């Protein structure tokens, strides 16, 4: 039986905890810092250590003789938690600080993609506002302006006019907390998909396909968010496209990182645009997606812990065929994020959530994210994205209907969610 440490406190980490809690190979699960949902899963315990307190996390892992650490968010990875855990002999399924630059530095990612001829939108880097504004003038609209560095999905502006672009440039280059560098890249239209693979020292295992809805409001409008809902599988990724993505994007990325002396190990999440010009990389994330994980793990039957440990191994006897298999339910899983009204801007917290104990089918699950317990033992809102309601069904339509039924059982004062999660774009 393995003891596992999960780092993070969102819906993704609740889904990981829930999934591992069902596994016969997992003993105890520690979640740092976790949320009321993770605390409620069997054999799971929340540990009050912040995701940024790398020293305390390493000390804890050593003290508890953790067999495997899975890191949810990008911040601890960009702070080097995988390197620190490796130094003290604790297996961590996540990339080194250098390899995590694929997400933490957009200029690293874009120049890497260019060096290895992996398709991505054309781009330029700027440090001076005037030069950036001139470039935009030459390029036309819409145009995409991105902050270099981690920005929790908020560092990207799609400008429709020179005025909007100038404003974004001044704001991003003037942000005193930010890396003083921006990228300006061509706008690509098409459909976005999240393609996530588990990358080991010797093997790559792609997960099932998934898509999320990044815009806040119905009809894919409003500000960008971390994700307002997701479904799996993603019908747009046909077997042919899947093979193409593995061959032209994922494998060259893994080979390229190794060739540059910064081997990548962990979940590798490619944000792809399926456009009429082909499939291109919009971004890499060095972690699982949220809410993609909630729908993926709802469909997964397989021993994730054993697979992570096999992928971390250098043992040549562990061939691709010998890896523990991941089996995916053929049913579609669909997850709806229930957020605090105002997210990703300002919102109120501390509102009592009702209906959480509403029972549903076994394939229904409410994952916690921004929740907390008040002194009376009631679950209250404590973040932008509060819950993710996931249901499964024979097809996307049925999964959608069931997931919205689940959502309707839950209430709090300023609850907000999209009504069109799973609405497929016209093909």
Contacts with ligand AMP, residue ranges (CB under 6 A): 121, 144, 146, 153, 156, 158, 185-188, 192, 214, 224, 271, 282-283
Please give the Cα distance from 16 to 26 (Å, whole number): 12
Residue closer to ligand GLY by CB (options 212, 331) is: 212
Considering CB distances under 5 to 8 angstroms, the limit depending on partner class, which of ligand GLY, ligand AMP, none binds residue 121?
ligand AMP
Least Å from the CB of residue 74 to ligand GLY: 9
Could you say which of ligand AMP, ligand GLY, none residue 83 binds, taking C-beta under 5 to 8 angstroms by partner kind? none
How far apart, in Å, are the Cα atoms of 126 and each of 134, 179, 335?
Answer: 11, 11, 38
Nearer to ligand AMP, 183 or 406 (CB): 183
Inter-residue contact 207 to 296 (CB < 8 Å): yes
Instruction: Choose from ligand GLY, ligand AMP, none: what does 182 bind? Cβ within 5-8 Å by kind.
Output: none
297 binds, among ligand GLY, ligand AMP, none (CB under 5 to 8 A by kind): none
Give the three-class secondary structure for 310: helix
Are 406 and 367 contacting, i.e. CB atoms less than 8 angstroms apart?
no
DSSP string, 9-22: -SHHHHHHHHHHHT
Instruction: Write the DSSP symbol of residue 120.
Output: B
Binding site for ligand GLY (CB under 6 A): 212, 226-227, 285, 289-290, 292
In whole angstroms, how close is the CB of 112 to ligand GLY at the nearest point?
19
Give the nearer residue to ligand GLY in terms of CB position, either 292 or 331.
292
User: Backbone phi, then psi, for 35, in 5-degree steps?
Assistant: -150, 175
- Residue 36 in contact with residue 372, Cβ under 8 Å? yes
126 φ/ψ angles, rounded to the nearest 5 degrees: -135, 145
CB of 275 to ligand AMP, least distance (A): 9
Shortest CB 242 distance to ligand GLY, Å: 20
Residues whose CB falls within 8 Å of the CB of residue 368, separated by 6 or more in sequence, listed in order: 11, 14, 35, 36, 37, 38, 379, 386, 387
Beta carbon of residue 143, minimum distance to ligand AMP (angstroms, whole number):
9
Binding partner of 212, given ligand GLY, ligand AMP, none, CB within 5-8 angstroms per partner class: ligand GLY
Q: Are strands 68-71 and 44-46 parallel, antiparallel or unpaired?
A: unpaired
The site partner of 119 among ligand AMP, ligand GLY, none (C-beta below 5 to 8 Å per kind) is none
- Of 186 and 329, the one with the shorter C-beta distance to ligand AMP is 186
Are the C-beta atoms of 402 and 393 separated by less than 8 Å?
yes
Residue nearest to ligand GLY (CB): 227
Q: What is the CA radius of gyration of the chain?
A: 21
To the nearest whole angstrom, how small is the minimum distance from the Cβ of residue 188 to ligand AMP?
A: 4
User: Please, which residue, 94 or 155, has the CB nearer to ligand AMP?
Assistant: 155
What CA–CA distance (Å, rounded) separates 194 from 329? Answer: 18
* Minimum distance, C-beta of residue 144 to ligand AMP, in the bound complex (Å): 4
The secondary structure of the chain in percent helix, strand, coil, rounded to multiples of 5, reads: 30, 30, 40
Nearest residue by C-beta to ligand AMP?
283
Structure tokens at 417: 């969610």
Pick 287 or 364: Cβ nearer ligand AMP: 287
Q: Which does 192 bind (CB under 5 to 8 A by kind): ligand AMP, ligand GLY, none?
A: ligand AMP
The tokens for 305 are 């812990």
Residue 289 contact among ligand AMP, ligand GLY, none, beta carbon within 5 to 8 Å by kind: ligand GLY
């Amino acid at each position: 039986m393995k003891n596992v440490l999960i780092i993070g406190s969102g819906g993704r980490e609740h889904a990981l905890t829930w999934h591992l809690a069902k596994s016969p190979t997992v003993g105890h699960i520690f979640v740092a810092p976790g949320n009321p949902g993770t605390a409620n899963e069997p054999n799971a315990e929340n540990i009050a250590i912040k995701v940024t307190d790398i020293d305390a996390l390493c000390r804890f892992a050593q003290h508890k003789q953790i067999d495997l650490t899975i890191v949810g968010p990008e911040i601890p990875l960009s702070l080097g938690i995988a390197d620190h855990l490796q130094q003290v002999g604790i297996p961590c399924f996540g990339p080194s600080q250098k390899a995590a630059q694929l997400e933490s530095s957009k200029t690293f990612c874009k120049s890497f993609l260019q060096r290895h001829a992996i398709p991505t939108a054309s781009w330029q880097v700027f440090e001076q506002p005037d030069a950036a504004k001139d470039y935009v003038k030459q390029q036309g609209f819409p145009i995409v302006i991105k902050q270099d560095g981690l920005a929790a999905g908020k560092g990207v502006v799609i400008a429709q006019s020179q005025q909007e672009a100038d404003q974004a440039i001044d704001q991003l280059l003037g942000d005193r907390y930010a890396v003083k560098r921006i990228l300006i890249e061509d706008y690509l239209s098409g459909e976005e998909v999240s393609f996530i693979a588990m990358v080991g020292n010797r093997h790559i295992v792609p997960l099932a396909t998934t898509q999320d809805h990044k815009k806040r409001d119905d009809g894919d409008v409003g500000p960008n968010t971390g994700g307002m809902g997701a479904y799996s599988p993603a019908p747009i990724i046909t077997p042919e496209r899947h093979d193409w993505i593995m061959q032209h994007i994922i494998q060259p990325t893994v080979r390229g990182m190794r060739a540059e002396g910064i081997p990548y190990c962990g979940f590798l999440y490619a944000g792809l645009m399926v456009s009429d010009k082909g499939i291109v990389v919009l971004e890499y994330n060095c972690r699982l997606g949220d809410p993609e994980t909630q729908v993926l793990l709802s469909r997964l039957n397989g021993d994730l812990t054993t697979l992570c440990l096999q992928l971390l191994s250098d043992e040549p006897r562990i061939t691709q065929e010998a890896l523990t298999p991941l089996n995916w339910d053929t049913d579609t899983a669909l997850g709806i994020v229930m957020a605090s009204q105002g997210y990703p801007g300002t919102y109120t917290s501390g509102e009592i959530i009702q209906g959480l104990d509403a029972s549903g089918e076994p394939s229904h699950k409410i994952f916690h994210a921004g929740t907390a317990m008040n002194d009376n033992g009631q679950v209250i809102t404590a973040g932008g994205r509060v819950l993710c309601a996931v249901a499964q069904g024979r097809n996307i339509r049925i999964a959608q209907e069931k997931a919205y039924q689940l959502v309707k059982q839950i209430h709090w004062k300023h609850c907000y969610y999209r009504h069109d999660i799973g609405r497929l774009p016209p093909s």
